[in-house]
Structure 1
Amino acid sequence: MDRTQPELHSDLREILGFLTSITGRILQVSDRKAGVVMGVATNTLMGSAFVTSVMGAVGSLGTAGTGAAIAGLS
């Protein structure tokens, strides 16, 4: 079943609303506060994933032209 992009976005918004509502019930707070909590959690996860990927990229690029690790050069 092929779906158009606007239909998928609508479905994702509906799922987000549902998950926010569930989070609000679990935390016993309003849906608005639950949305803030979910936003903070999502931003934290995305930030840590970004830092991890940047550190991995820097580590893989951190070699001298000879292939020796820069940390081992003196």
Structure 2
Amino acid sequence: MKYETIVTQVMVCEAGKELFDATATEISLLDEAAGGMVSIKQSCDYSGAGEVRFDPDEWPTVRAAINDMVQRCEKYNKSLEA
């Protein structure tokens, strides 16, 4: 039997801050029995349901993490087809 490691979550937050800080953005690979999808969440109190907010300075890091997770999702979905 062959095993593999699948990265399913990354956190992007301001350097030196805790993972539950308002600046934290959680980017996850999910599978709810219909193939992989990417989820983006923030824990800040000011965001409404379904809303995420980014400062211009944090956007490049968040965008890179999202792009990476989308590529992982595509790889995961292809592995399900095999």
User: TM-score when scaled to structure 2?
Assistant: 0.33
The normalised TM-score by structure 1 is: 0.36
Name whichever structure is richer in helix by fraction. Answer: 1
More strand by share: 2
